[in-house]
Structure 1
Amino acid sequence: MPDTPPLPPEPEPRKSRTNAIIIGSAAAVIAAVVATGIVIVQSGDGDSRPSATPGPSLYGMEGTAAAVTETSSEPAPEPTYAALDADSFTIGLKTKAKQCFGSAGCNVTVEPELTYVDLSADVDPDAVYEITYEIRGDESGPVIQTATLSNGTSLNYRPSMISTVSSDTKVSVKITDVTAQGG
Structure 2
Amino acid sequence: MKKLRYSFGLLALALIFLSSCRDTVEPNIPYSTFDTGAYLRTIARTSVDFQLADLGKSTFALTLEAVDIEDGATVETVEIMVRHRRLITGVGLEYTPKGGDAKVKTLSASDFAANADSRFLRTSFVITAAEALAAVGLDAAYLKKGDVFEFRLILNDKKGRSFNSSNVTTNVAGAVFYDSPFQYFVDVE
For this structure pair, what is the TM-score category when the shorter chain's length is used for normalisation? 0.3 to 0.5
What TM-score results when the alignment is normalised by the length of structure 2? 0.33
More RCO (CA 8 Å, sep 6+): 2
Structure with bigger strand share is 2
What TM-score results when the alignment is normalised by the length of structure 1? 0.34
Structure with bigger helix share is 2
Which of 1 and 2 has greater Rg?
1
